Amino acid sequence: MFVRKNLVFALLTLSGISIGCVQSKTEPAYFADLVIVYGKVTLDGNPVSGATITFIPADMSQSGGIGTGVTVISGDYDLTTPQPGSLESQPKGIVPGNYKVTITKLQMPDGSPVPEGTDDAMAMAMDAREAIPAKYSDSDKTELLVEVDHTSPFVQNFELKSE
């Protein structure tokens, strides 16, 4: 959804700005505390591929910002902490803490995937719809809350149910 894309972009921007303010010529201290987080997303028992999973700090003053990932065909995901720079240099994992989680995925009205290379605005113009129920995909309504502890790797599976 276009609103979802704007929310993720705003969170990534805020995360990058707050991180940029504390970055020096060395890596920020919280990178040493990153916990590898991975798991699997299913909806009604079926793997969800191509979904964006976002861990948003429950307390926005939590250092380290958000974590994000995309599920593969098996529904598996792993998180990175978005930083300025290339996608290849993004640090794996997130800072321990309390997070609310959103899981989003656009699909065409007939249930088929959004065509490759189509951005969210274009997909919405083609009548794409959110495939994941709002209780998981909407950042204001999500019921998904996770406390990531210092155990690395931290495995968090999400077994979603249709409404």
pLDDT in tens, 39-72: 999 999 999 999 999 999 988 777 678 899 999 9
Residue type, 122: M
2-157: which CATH topology? Immunoglobulin-like (2.60.40)
pTM (global) more than 0.85 = no
Closest CA to 47 of 64, 71, 19, 67: 71
**C-beta neighbour count of 110 within 10 angstroms:** 6
- Which tens digits make up the pLDDT trace of 65-95? 889 999 999 999 999 988 766 566 678 999 9
> For the chain, what are the domain ranges?
2-157
